[in-house]
Amino acid sequence: MNIFAQYVKPNLDFYSRYPNYVCSRCVEKAIDANGRPLKFYNQDMCGGFVAVYTDTNERRNSNTCYINGVECHASEAFTGGIVVEIVTGRNETRAELERPVR
């Protein structure tokens, strides 16, 4: 079971390939360590990973992001698209990703 689903979205599907994936609603909150907002895309129709600062549209050369202070990793999904997962070995819950940022 996804370690966060029980707190926020009980019907969040489980994917064994991405057991700690973050829902799209939370991915929209992704920022870098300095608080700059991020978006993630496939480079083109064949895939590839691109991270972009939403405030300037400049590319970023890192897969690390933070959602409400929780360290996450964004990457290209196996079948295409982008997946963001909480860094493993952490005890955060999906509820922590959902809490309001102050």
> Average pLDDT by consecutive 10-residue portion of the chain (102 residues)?
42 75 89 97 86 96 92 90 82 55 50
Rounded Cα distance, 84 and 65, in Å? 9
How many other CB atoms are found less than 10 A from the CB of residue 78?
11
pTM: 0.75
The answer to whether residue 37 sits within a structural domain is: yes
The answer to whether residue 33 sits within a structural domain is: yes
Query: Residue 46: its pLDDT value, please?
Result: 79
Q: Between vectors from CA 70 to CA 8 and to CA 9, what angle results, nearest 5°?
A: 10
The answer to whether residue 32 sits within a structural domain is: yes
If one counts the domains in the chain, the total is: 1
Domain span at residue 91 reads 24-98
The answer to whether residue 82 sits within a structural domain is: yes
